[in-house]
Amino acid sequence: MNKAKLLVTGFLASLPMMAVQAGIMLRIGVNQQSSVPYIMGDNLQLQALPGIAIEQLRAAATYCGASPEIERYPSLRLLNNLKINLIQGVLMLSYSEERASFAAYPMLDELPDHSQRLTTLSHVFFVNQKSTLVWDGKVLSGLQGKVGVNTGWSVIKDLGDLNIPYEVAQVLKITLLN
pLDDT tens, residue by residue, 144-153: 889 888 877 7
Measured CA to CA, the distance from residue 145 to residue 135 in angstroms comes to 15
- 83's enclosing H/E stretch is helix 75-83
Look over the chain and give the mean of its residue pLDDT values, rounded to a whole number. 83
Q: Is 139 exposed, middle or buried (0-12, 13-18, 19+ CB in 10 A)?
A: exposed
The pLDDT value given to residue 17 = 54
Is the pLDDT score of 10 beyond 80? no
| Residue among 60, 45, 57, 55 at smallest CA distance from 91 | 57
| Residue among 74, 86, 78, 80 at smallest CA distance from 29 | 78
Contact 86, 27 (CB under 8 A): yes
Contact 57, 68 (CB under 8 A): yes
- Domain boundaries, given as residue ranges, for the chain: 3-113, 134-177
Each residue's pLDDT tens digit, 65-113: 999 999 999 888 999 999 999 999 999 888 889 999 999 999 999 999 9
Question: 3-113: which CATH number, 3.40.190.10, 3.40.50.460, 2.40.400.10, 3.90.1150.220?
Answer: 3.40.190.10
Is the pLDDT score of 133 beyond 50? yes
What is the pTM assigned to this prediction? 0.70
